[in-house]
Amino acid sequence: MKFLGKSLHIANSGKLIARSNKTPPTEGIVFDSDKNKIGKVNYIFGPTNKPYISIRLFNSTDIVKIKKNYGEKLFVSRPKNKKSKKRGNRSRNKK
């Protein structure tokens, strides 16, 4: 896990907005300072040297706790690689 940034506020859309010093991986899993999963990176916007990150919160996330702890350190990990689907045996037509 890598340091993501600090939480700023919850937007009207229900997403948590955070500020970072570098661009995080898209769809990365976001953790709070207690190492609890709270959401996924949804959208990255703003200046490239200090971007804002929109985090889509999980349904199990305690929003009241997040609102009390604005400025809390957040961490991110890379999403697990999805297994690629095999296309099956594609044989060429032999003449």
**Residue 37 reports pLDDT greater than 90:** yes
pLDDT at 93: 61
**Residue 84 reports pLDDT greater than 60:** no
**Structural domains in the chain, sorted by start:** 2-77 (2.40.10.230)
Question: What is the pTM for the complete model shown?
Answer: 0.79
pLDDT at 88: 58
Q: What is the mean pLDDT of residues 55-81?
A: 89
Question: Which stretches does DSSP call E strand in 1-95?
Answer: 2-10, 16-20, 29-31, 37-45, 52-57, 73-77
Which tokens belong to 79?
């999403």
